[in-house]
Amino acid sequence: MPRKYKRSVTAPSRAAWSEEQLREAIEKVSTNKISAREAHRRYGVPQNAEPKNNLFLRVLGKDNEKRLVAHIQRLSAAGFAPDRQTVRTLAYKFAEKLHIQHTFSAEKETAGFA
């Protein structure tokens, strides 16, 4: 039979940091002045507070990523929804066609890791 949950008094409170602390921590981590772990210790913000970097966005840039997304959406609308591997291949070919410097696998001709 289920019991009624009672939160422990010793449980850590959520969001025990201010918005200003969060902004400052994200800025310092983004500029590589401190690590995410150090920001967690100094400001009390979670280690994963900084938004995850999108690999395609970092390599292709915002405008080119939007173009790639639009192309993938057109494929999906036409009934050819690409799987993950196909998207990685499309991103690689897109970067090659636009002569964008990248660290994608030339051997496998795919974007991303592994």
**What does the pLDDT look like over 31-88, one tens digit per residue?**
888 888 888 888 888 776 545 555 556 778 888 889 999 999 999 999 999 999 999 9
Residue 7 pLDDT grade (very low, low, confident, very high; cuts 50, 70, 90): confident
Residue with more model confidence, 7 or 69: 69
* Residue of 13, 104, 3 whose CA lies nearest to 59: 104
The CA-atom distances, in angstroms, between 105 and each of 82, 94, 102 are 19, 13, 9
Query: Does this model's pTM top 0.75?
Result: no
**What does the pLDDT look like over 18-34, one tens digit per residue?**
888 888 888 888 788 88
